[in-house]
Amino acid sequence: MGSIVGVQPIWRRKEDGAVLCLELKIPPLPQVITVGRSVTGKGYQHFRRCFEAYNIVFVQSGSFYITEDDIAYNMKEGDILVLEPGKTHWGHHPSPEHTELIWVHLSHPRAIRSLDREQIPWSYPLQRNEDNDERPFDQSMYLPKMTYIDPASIVPLLERMYLMFHSFSVSNALPLHALVSELLVKIQSVAQVRGRSRSAYLSEKVIEYLQQHANVPLHYQHLEESLHYHFDYLSRCLKKHTGKTPLQYMRGIQINQAKSLLENTELTIAEIGERVGLNSHGYLNRIFRQSTGMTPNQYRASCRRNYGPEPQK
């Protein structure tokens, strides 16, 4: 894997688990501008450039030396780097060997912030849109600034993108953007999976447990026995990565299940409460109102007003 040198360290070797990531707001998803590739000879040095586009550079073979705003990146085979819009980049050292590069230029607003992979709340529950919403809630994607990806897992995708872009037509414009989304998923997954901390892993295991047992009361002892850790420690892990305690997270699951049943079935409120594990009618009403600002009956009526039966012609 390549390394970075410069006036300040922004990315460290994976042994310490630290990976700097860029947080990008979605929707919309980034839009492709161009896909290119080059085979450079020994001694190649990239020219100085600053433009308003993301430049994702992948080293298929050889080595590549590039600086962005005084931070130098020494890239080797399999390294992928996200150069940012509005930042000047240039080659700070000639390549000592023949090098093959593939790059993708994307249009998208500048990153919201940079943060370490361990700060990303992967398991944090996002607010779910309702049937009467007309705009999606804000979401984020996270791209490692620089990381390693096995060439065998990404080169075929990049080659498909390159070939599709260079036979660009009305029929393949949408498929090309679908491939861009696939590329971004692959890049994000490196940050999400590689070197997860114990707390992140246990947070995900607690979420799996809560999803499987959402319709029964939360028994702390059973959770401890299932995951082989004290409840207080498991609760701290979940709180760190989602901002919620196990009970709060489970209530969120139950409320979402209740919403779905209110929208799509004719079950009574009592029957819905029994199905989602909130057996007391009064308790279901109170928890539901706290979450949505409406009682279950009001929520059902609201859904029917907005999406009632189609008028007969």
* Domain limits, the chain: 3-193, 198-306
Tell me, yes or no, if the pTM score tops 0.85: no
How far is it, in rounded angstroms, from Cα 42 to Cα 45?
A: 9
Please give the C-alpha separations between residue 49 and each of 10, 54, 87, 88, 105, in angstroms, as whole numbers: 21, 12, 8, 6, 13
Q: CATH assignment of 3-193, given 3.40.50.300, 3.40.640.10, 3.30.450.20, 2.60.120.280?
A: 2.60.120.280
CATH superfamily of 198-306: Homeodomain-like (1.10.10.60)
- pLDDT tens column, 81-98: 999 999 999 999 999 999
Structural contact between residues 74 and 63, judged by C-beta atoms closer than 8 angstroms: yes
The Cα 135–Cα 227 span in angstroms is 39
Q: Model confidence over 235-292: pLDDT tens digits?
A: 999 998 888 999 999 999 999 999 999 988 999 999 999 999 988 778 889 999 998 8
286, two tokens:
């109170």
Phi, psi dihedral angles at 173 (to 5 degrees): -60, -50
Residues 6+ apart with CB under 8 A from 180: 29, 30, 31, 32, 104, 106, 161
C-alpha pair distances (Å), 151 with each of 42, 102, 182: 21, 11, 15
User: CA 95: distance to chain centroid?
Assistant: 34
Dihedral class, residue 210 (left if φ above 0, else alpha if ψ from -120 to 50, else beta): alpha
**CA angle at residue 20 from 152 to 204, to 5 degrees?**
80
Cα–Cα distance measured from residue 95 to residue 185, given in angstroms and rounded to the nearest whole number:
30
The pLDDT value recorded for residue 279 is: 82
Residue 283's pLDDT is: 85
Amino acid at 222: H
Are 60 and 151 in contact by the 8 Å Cβ rule? The answer is yes
CA distance 90 to 92: 6
Provide the pLDDT for residue 12.
Answer: 37
**Two domains, one topology: 3-193 and 198-306:** no
Number of CB atoms found within 10 A of residue 84's CB: 17
Phi, psi of 99, rounded to the nearest 5 degrees: -135, 135
Query: Any bridge partners for residue 65, and if so which?
Result: 74
- Give the distance, in angstroms, between the CA of residue 284 and the centroid of all CA atoms in the same chain: 32
Whole-number pLDDT of residue 280: 78
Taking 3-state DSSP, the helix, strand and coil percentages for the chain, each rounded to the nearest 5, stand at 40, 25, 35
Rounded-to-integer distance, Cα 252 and Cα 256, Å? 6
In whole angstroms, what is the distance from residue 3 CA to residue 189 CA?
A: 20
Q: How far apart are the first and last CA of the chain?
A: 66
Residue stretches of the chain with pLDDT short of 50? 4-16, 310-313
